[in-house]
Amino acid sequence: MPTSVSSVKTDHASRYLQQLCKHWSHRFTVEFNEVAGKVPFSPETSVEFSADASTLLMTLHIENPQDLERMQNVVADHLKRFAFREKLDVVWTVDVSRV
């Protein structure tokens, strides 16, 4: 299962984690609190979030490697919509050992 990780520097990591999880909770069974969250898009695809004072860590798990780029864009685009007041640098790093 391919895994992709993005570590986004922001002073609002917890706020964005909660906004993303609340947003997707209308369609998926989401678990979250102020510092961690998980959105299961399907049995094979999920994103996990963790937040500290300066970083939002996003870990994307994908069953089908062909879906990786699309799902990276989905997660990043939603984050950027919530964070429209700041310019966030979302760079994904794929764990090649898991592709």
**pLDDT of 8-39, one tens digit each?**
999 999 999 999 999 999 999 999 999 999 99
**Which CATH number characterizes residue 25's domain?**
3.30.310.50
Residue 91 lies in a domain: no
> Which of 9, 12, 17, 26 lies closest to 78 in space, CA to CA?
17
> What's the domain range around 72?
3-85
- pTM score, two decimals? 0.92
Residue 9 lies in a domain: yes
| Structural domains in the chain (count) | 1
Are 32 and 17 spatial neighbours (Cβ–Cβ below 8 Å)?
A: yes
Q: Which two tokens stand for residue 56?
A: 């939002």
**pLDDT of 70-99, one tens digit each?**
999 999 999 999 999 999 999 999 985 544
Residue 97 lies in a domain: no
